[in-house]
Amino acid sequence: MSGTKPHILLIDGMALLFRSYFATSYRGQFFRNAYHVPTNGVQGFARHTMSAISIFQPTHLAVCWDMGSKTFRNELFSDYKAHRPAPEPELIPQFDMAREVSETLGWKNYGIKNMEADDLIGSLIETWKNEAKLTVVSGDKDLLQLLKPDVSIAFTQKGYTQYDEYNEARFQEEYGITPAQFIDIKAFTGDSSDGYPGVKGIGPKTALKLIQEYGSVDGVLAARDELSAGIRKKIDADEEMLMLSKELATIHCELTLDDPLEHLVIPEFTSEHAKLMEQQGYSLIARQGLSVSPF
């Protein structure tokens, strides 16, 4: 690797686990093991990660996890993600199983109580942004705020091999703002999937126009007298929620995740790994691991 930057692949483990579970569960395909425990989400997560390794050819890998359904954002706003249904019974055991499989395969895993996987991804980017190229695999558009030089985000699309990849230049060309200003957009629009409202009556187009013109939430508030009466009234009515929404939308990048880089090296997938996966009822992982590059 002399003369070439390391390339770290950051996997949003929760996003891939959920995606893989729902992709098969609606057809009743749970791939139960010898103990009759479903494994569809686990096997899909591992297969997706292996395919991403083959496609993006990283030198290093980290998998990031949520550690429970509650985080510090619930302390800030009790309704944060509160409207989401409880996980289906077939999915619940697969949270721990997925992390165990990831560890068995030798992948570096990160999970911190009270924090979200997004915060771990952001902190790893902050840690390695000057020393490595980084590619994030997720389905979460919130991560766009993390784009930087040498950081790209590959959003999952159909199947295991199709991605919509963003870099900093593409984002700026499409949105006309910096990635960091994406937080200010979310402050105005809120996030229905996360359950916080932003400013009622201000949608993505208006929010983008405001941030393009005034630069930030604070810039908009400082120029309040220049705004139309309608927009000013909406902001006045929801100013407290505007500021809270910005706090909720901000990914925290200050966690100390400074393990030596060699701890993130991707191990070879061996016949021993395949045997372990077969024994544990993960035949799809075993077959995938033996068939994809660079294993």
Tens digit of pLDDT for each residue in 5-61?
A: 999 999 999 999 999 999 999 999 999 999 999 999 999 999 999 999 999 999 999
Q: Residue 125, class by beta-carbon neighbours within 10 Å (0-12 exposed, 13-18 middle, 19+ buried)?
A: buried
pTM: 0.95
CATH number for the 7-171+252-291 domain, one of 3.30.200.20, 3.40.50.1010, 3.10.20.600, 1.20.120.610?
A: 3.40.50.1010
Looking at residue 2, its pLDDT comes to 47
Residues sharing a CB contact under 8 Å with residue 75, sequence separation 6 or more, in sequence order: none
8 Å CB contact between 134 and 152: yes
In the chain, which residues have pLDDT < 50? 1-2, 293-295
Three-state SS string over 239-265 comes to HHHHHHHHHHHCCCCCCCCCCCHHHHE
Q: Which residue has the tokens 């619940």?
A: 92
- Class of the 175-249 domain? mainly alpha
Structural domain spans, the chain: 7-171+252-291, 175-249
Looking at residue 290, its pLDDT comes to 87
Looking at residue 69, its pLDDT comes to 87
Looking at residue 293, its pLDDT comes to 42
Considering only CA atoms, give the Rg of the chain. 21
Q: CA angle 75-93-114, nearest 5°?
A: 20
